[in-house]
Structure 1
Amino acid sequence: MARTASALHILVKTEAQALDIMKQLAAGADFQQLAKKYSTCPSKKRGGDLGEFKKGDMVASFDNAVFSCELLQPVGPVKTRFGYHIIKVLYRS
Structure 2
Amino acid sequence: MAKTAAALHILVKHESKAKELLLQLEKGANFQNLAKKYSTCPSGKKGGSLGEFRKGDMVGPFDKAVFSGEILKPLGPVKTKFGYHIIKVLYRT
The runs of 5 or more residues in structure 2 that have no matched partner are none
- How many pairs align? 93
1:34 corresponds to: 34
Output the CA distance in 2 between the equivalents of 1:65 and 1:43: 18
2:15 corresponds to: 15
Q: Secondary structure at the match of 1:23?
A: helix
Q: CA deviation digits over 1:13-67, x for unaligned, max 9? A: 0000000000100110000000000000000110000000000000000000000
1:55 corresponds to: 55
Output the CA distance in 1 between the equivalents of 2:24 and 2:73: 13
Query: Identity, % of aligned pairs?
Result: 71
The runs of 5 or more residues in structure 1 that have no matched partner are none
Q: Secondary structure at the match of 1:19?
A: helix
Output the CA distance in 2 between the equivalents of 1:61 and 1:67: 10
Following TM superposition, by how much is the alpha carbon of 1:91 offset from its aligned partner in structure 2, in angstroms? 0.2
Output the CA distance in 1 between the equivalents of 2:45 and 2:18: 18
For residue 23 of structure 1, what is the amino acid of its counterpart? L
For residue 61 of structure 2, what is the amino acid of its counterpart? S
* Deviating 4+ runs (over 6 angstroms): none
2:87 corresponds to: 87
Q: Secondary structure at the match of 1:16?
A: helix
